[in-house]
A and B are shown apart, each in its own frame.
Chain A
Amino acid sequence: MTAVQAVLLVLVAVAGTFVALTREPLRQAILVGVFGLILALLFFALQAPDVALSQIVVGGVALPAMVLLALAEVRARQANTEDEDE
């Protein structure tokens, strides 16, 4: 195992812990994107460029985008029900 791989492994562990410890969903969505990009770097260092390519887009764009959209949806719905209550 090279130094690059070791450093990236530790970084992935640290980033993953931060994602799990974040309690605010919006921050978590951004952090999970950063985590995904670090994970992609690790895949690249482990000589899996095919997987790294998918990971960059899925982890860096698609997953955070879906979480953000779901969040927006939930918030809009909450705002709607509050309006009805008033």
Chain B
Amino acid sequence: MIVFACGAAGLAALLAWAFSGLPEFGHYAGRYGRIIGRIAVPDRATTNAVTFVAFDVRAVDTMVEEFIVFAAAIAAVALLRHQRGEPERGQRTDEVLRPKTSPTLLFVGALLAGPTAVIALNVIAHGAITPGGGFQGGVVLAATVVVMVAAGARARLPADEPPLLAEITHGLGAAGFVLLGLAGLIFAGTFLSTTWAGHGTPGALLSGGAIPLLNVATGLEVAGALAVILGEFLEQHMLAAEEPES
């Protein structure tokens, strides 16, 4: 307790010292942000400067981030499948896994699934113009999957069938981002350059060069990764729940 009190007091003092030196809200001191603010619309026709930074100026960072998500999903799936054991998957090929849901949940889920999917696509498509983009829209799209599962949709295809749509989406998104980067290398001479796909009118849906395409790739990747992880968890949960009966 005494140690905690000393630590808390010290932390409070340091925090107060740090906060006293903060610049006032809205007073930005850096040079980088001003440059971004000046060139985002004239150079790339992106009215959303955040997306301009994430998918053009710092596109390589975004690519690595995307591969973090990619690797995390694969790691989670590998761990969960290893715990469950592969032979068990083969035995259950003819079974349809269905979570048991209440009618209320089914109704609300069915009601929400469509609008959520539309919002997700809207957020992804308008990433270069308004707040949003591939990451945000991708997570909303994954939330759609959660809602659909809650509404009683099948969580996963049996083991012998082709891989789940989410797994394909997951790989396609990751590959798409790199391919678009290579397209920049081929058509504009710089890896992940976005200018090769044209300029467009600021504010139009297809503006900002390849930035909307990169957003779509990221959206697919993030949505796929989250859906894969959640699907794997759900399947494991349902298998575990069924075991005591058998």
Contacts and interface: CB of A to CB of B under 8 A. Distances in A.
B233 A70 contact: yes
Most buried by B among A49, A50, A58: A50
A53 B146 CA distance: 17
B50 A50 contact: yes
Contacts of B226: 62
Contact of B131 (A49, A57, A61): A49
B212 interface: no
A57 B112 CA distance: 14
B246 to A, nearest CB: 11
Q: Is the interface of A mostly helix, strand, loop or mixed?
A: helix
Q: Is the interface of B mostly helix, strand, loop or mixed?
A: helix
Contacts, number: 60
A20 to B, nearest CB: 14
29 contacts: A5-B25, A50-B51, A50-B132, A50-B133, A50-B136, A53-B123, A53-B136, A54-B136, A57-B136, A57-B139, A57-B143, A61-B146, A62-B142, A62-B226, A66-B229, A66-B230, A66-B233, A69-B230, A69-B237, A70-B233, A72-B237, A72-B241, A73-B236, A73-B240, A76-B240, A76-B241, A76-B243, A79-B244, A80-B240
Number of chain B interface residues as a range: 20 to 34
B70 interface: no
Nearest to B54: A50
Nearest to B139: A57
Interface in A71-86: 72-73, 76-77, 79-80, 83
Given A54-B139, A69-B233, A76-B237, 12 more contacts: A5-B25, A46-B25, A50-B133, A52-B131, A57-B139, A62-B143, A65-B146, A66-B230, A69-B230, A73-B236, A73-B240, A79-B244
Interface string A12-56: 000000000000000000000000000000000010011011100
Contacts of A73: 233, 236-237, 240
B136 A80 contact: no
B136 A69 contact: no
B234 A69 contact: yes
Given A53-B131, A57-B136, A58-B139, A1 B25 contact: yes
Interface of B: 25, 48, 50-51, 123, 131-133, 135-136, 139-140, 142-143, 146, 226, 229-230, 233-234, 236-237, 240-241, 243-244
Contacts of B146: 61-62, 65
